[in-house]
Structure 1
Amino acid sequence: MQNQAMTVVALIVAAGRGTRAGPGAPKQYRQLAGEPVLRRTLRAFCLHPEIDLVMAVIHPDDREAYEAASAGLPRLAPACEGGPTRQASVLRGLEALAAHKPGRVLIHDGARPLVKPDIISRSIQALDRHKGALVAVPVTDTIRRVSDGMAGETVPRDGLWRAQTPQSFHFDAILDAHRKAAGGELTDDVAVAAAAGMAVATIEGDETNMKITSAEDLARAGRLLAAGRESRTGSGFDVHRFGPGDHVMLCGVRVPHTHGLVGHSDADAGLHALTDAILGALGNGDIGRHFPPSDPQWKGASSDRFLAHAARLADEAGARIVHVDVTLICEQPKIGPHADAMRARIAGILEIDLSRVSVKATTTEGLGFTGRGEGLAAQALATLSFG
């Protein structure tokens, strides 16, 4: 851990029940474009280069759901359990983070999954000049008082802003403020800071940094993600020659054959091509860069490890694997009887639905090295969605 003056931590508040989102799981665990809301929120901070550590405050009943939603994310400390109010939950989280001796903390709602990296960066930078900073957006609508259902006088909107998160602070100052305010029910951390006499600066936020409260909010967030989503396609190709053996490994499935395949690992051309396709969509080199054949630790290695690594890199980059397509090129062995098992194996490694996986085969009509039975080839395409 870096020295206290430089260490920046994020506290993600996710202990609420979210009843206004309707029946079912709490809103932070609802699916948003194929992922739990909370995973998207956590990843925004876990992958930000200026954040050193991330901790979530969760409801004690949500432990299993949280572990599933947060699996594999970097820089993530074990979650702590929240209290009966938001204020109590934040205090518990700050007390748990105190052992790391951070210098700065960003406190963020778990149900705000669309926070942009720029907002996080500006929240951190504001603490160079201030003890606290609030992300907010100016009120643009006309504001009126209402009494007994009747429209009353207009409230001047000059100087009115709608608070968002993250709300950032010097760690020791906000921890002290929360300790002094313990037992209250203040609605956000700026109110806690103000009660302790702390001046808090304002940073202009973004309308897309919305808090998901209702089912309608969840639908709107999905539309915003779809509008800003980028798709990329990568391709992969691999060849292995036949050698001694009684089976070949193809797309993670053992297929009986008169020969084996020669390679440094298990020579699974299908998974090798698919691994390269995913890495290509990520712009992250090729399989040889990540698993050099000159490295003895990969001798005889099962190629599912390579594909799982590529899937993990995609997840860390905020990408979703939308579809993969593998074509095996050989005269023998016959692929058809094993194609469904291969699809299922790939879907399991990538943790995607079977409908998103295609495996098929073709021959070269007796032409070339595959036609002569000297080896086989595989090509693959992978489509990833970012955003």
Structure 2
Amino acid sequence: MRCVALIVAAGRGERLGGDLPKQFLPLLGRPMLRRTIERFLGHPSVDAVRVVIDGRHEELYRTATAGLALLEPVAGGASRQESVRLGLESLVELAPGQVLIHDAARPLASAALVERVASMLRTADAALPALPVVDTLKRAEGARTAGDVPRDGLWRAQTPQGFRFAAILAAHRAQAGGAFTDDAAVAAAAGIEVSLVEGEEDNMKITHPADLARAERLLGGGQRRWRTGLGFDVHRLVEDRPLILAGVHIPFERGLAGHSDADVVLHAVTDAILGAIAAGDIGQHFPPSDPRWKDADSAQFLEHAVGLAAEAGGALENVDVTILCERPKIGPHRDAMRERLAAILGLPVGRVGIKATTTEQLGFTGRGEGIAAQAVATLSFAA
């Protein structure tokens, strides 16, 4: 046997959240693990595929891989490094010349990438797909920057990583119990020279909900589904309260009454986003009877809604707000409000609209008794 692909799928993937380990989550209707395996099955440079799993996940594995022509799975260990070693040990009887070790959470590796790694092994002992670091790197101390890190010669490692089988098995045996984060590091520690091959930006590792949404966009060929949510909020104007609109303090003789800071703009936008994902309203998530939210900054309510949208696979595209009041004048503060709202939402300012109108002195806003806001939020989802 020339080459075996070893898919490492024994982790929990807890940073992605949810009840299922991430490798079994659906990705455009099919389990992520299945999509990853299919990248190697039938590839002309790969003769067989074996998956390393957590023994407790065997039923999930059987369901996810039903109908695929795979070698029997093998149980992994307490760490990724141990899982890979156990997977390699299980291949001894097959004695392949080469092995490609790949993470189950990278379901978008192309056939061309697999071929580049396999081809490099014809002349090299180990092959590592990687991309050069192009962003400026910062060292941090807490929440503050503490200087730059030179990026010259730095690369972002990916999988599949390819090796001569006998050499990487010996390396893993020699380094058993270590804390290496990938197999190229295990190989290098054993004196194996690792050659670089060109990686791919789309060969992303799915770690967070936003990664899952991006992978679905890539797999869906850019096709999107759209959802729109509507939010509305109103608060009375009272003495001895600051006026906060869209997270900006507005100089005025009165402020809005409410349990939190009573920011009608942020409340309306929060409800609009929650509405787009059918997740209830702001009162369900942050009940005014809860003392934790007394005088709270409403930005945290909005950030919570944005997080829920990302977990649902949604990408916030734009927000449009209309403020209804006679006074104060909103125009002088509009730019600051748009910038603050955009920062909370993680959107470019150009995708945040804030308008203001009066009610021609009609109703409670016309009488100056309160301020209202209505908001529309548009989210996109992979088709």
Q: Output the TM-score relative to the length of structure 2.
A: 0.57
Q: Distance in 2 between matches of 1:48 and 1:72?
A: 17
Say whether residues 1:22 and 2:11 are aligned partners. Answer: no
Q: 1:157, CA displacement in angstroms?
A: 1.1
Task: Please show how residues 236-275 of structure 1 align to structure 2 within 5 Å.
Answer: none
Query: 1:47 maps to what in 2?
Result: 42
Q: Which moved more, 1:172-181 or 1:183-192?
A: 183-192
Distance in 1 separating the partners of 2:67 and 2:44: 17
Separation in 1, partners of 2:32, 2:48? 20
CA-to-partner distance for each residue in 1:200-230, whole Å, 9 max, x for gaps? Answer: 001111110001112221111101111268x
Give 3-state SS (helix, strand or coil) of 1:98's partner. Answer: coil
Q: Is 1:191 aligned with 2:185?
A: yes
**1:157 aligned counterpart, secondary structure:** coil
**Residues in 2 aligned to 1:143 and 1:23: alpha-carbon distance in whole angstroms:** 31
Residues in 1 aligned to 2:142 and 2:80: alpha-carbon distance in whole angstroms: 31
Question: Which residue identity lines up with residue 14 of structure 2 in the other structure?
Answer: T
Measure how far apart 1:152 and its partner are.
Answer: 2.2
Distance 2:8 2:91 in 1: 13
Deviations 1:226-252 (A, max 9, x none): 1268xxxxxxxxxxxxxxxxxxxxxxx
* The one of 142, 145, 160 aligned to 1:151: 145
Summarize the alignment of residues 136-215 of structure 1 with structure 2, pairs less than 5 Å apart.
136-215=130-209
2-side partners of 1:9 and 1:156: how far apart?
37
- 1:46 aligns to what SS in structure 2? coil
CA displacement 1:113-162 (0-9 Å, x = unmatched): 00000000010000111100101111111101112322122212111111
Name the counterpart of 1:249: none
Cα pair distance change 1:228/1:105, threshold 3 Å: farther
Aligned residue runs from structure 1 range 368-379, under 5 A: none
1:165 alignment partner, SS class = coil
Cα deviation, 1:356-383, whole Å, max 9, x if unaligned, reads xxxxxxxxxxxxxxxxxxxxxxxxxxxx
Residue 124 (1) aligns with residue 112 (2)? no
**Secondary structure at 2:92 match in 1:** helix
Partner Cα distance (2:48, 2:9) in 1: 16
1:108 aligned counterpart, secondary structure: strand
- Structure 1 letter corresponding to 2:214: R
Taking the TM superposition and a 5 Å limit, the aligned residue runs for 1:288-299 are none
Q: Which residue is equivalent to 2:211?
A: 217
Structure 1 counterpart of 2:121, one-letter code: L
Distance in 2 (CA, whole Å) between partners of 1:153 and 1:111 is 32
Letter in 1 for 2:150: P
Equivalent position amino acid for 2:58 in 1: R
- Counterpart among 74, 79, 82 of residue 85 in structure 1: 79
Separation of aligned partners in 2, 1:53 and 1:228: 32
How far apart, CA to CA, are the structure 2 residues paired with 1:173 and 1:208? 29
SS in 2 for 1:54: strand
With normalisation by structure 1, the TM-score equals 0.57
Runs of 4+ in 1 over 3 A off after TM superposition: none
CA displacement, residues 152-192 of structure 1 (integer Å, 9 cap, x when unaligned): 22212111111110010000000000000111121110110
Partner of 2:289: none
What amino acid sits opposite 2:82 in the alignment? A
- The correspondence for 2:94, drawn from 100, 115, 118, is 100
The yes-or-no answer on 1:61 pairing with 2:79 is no
Matched, 1:134 2:128: yes
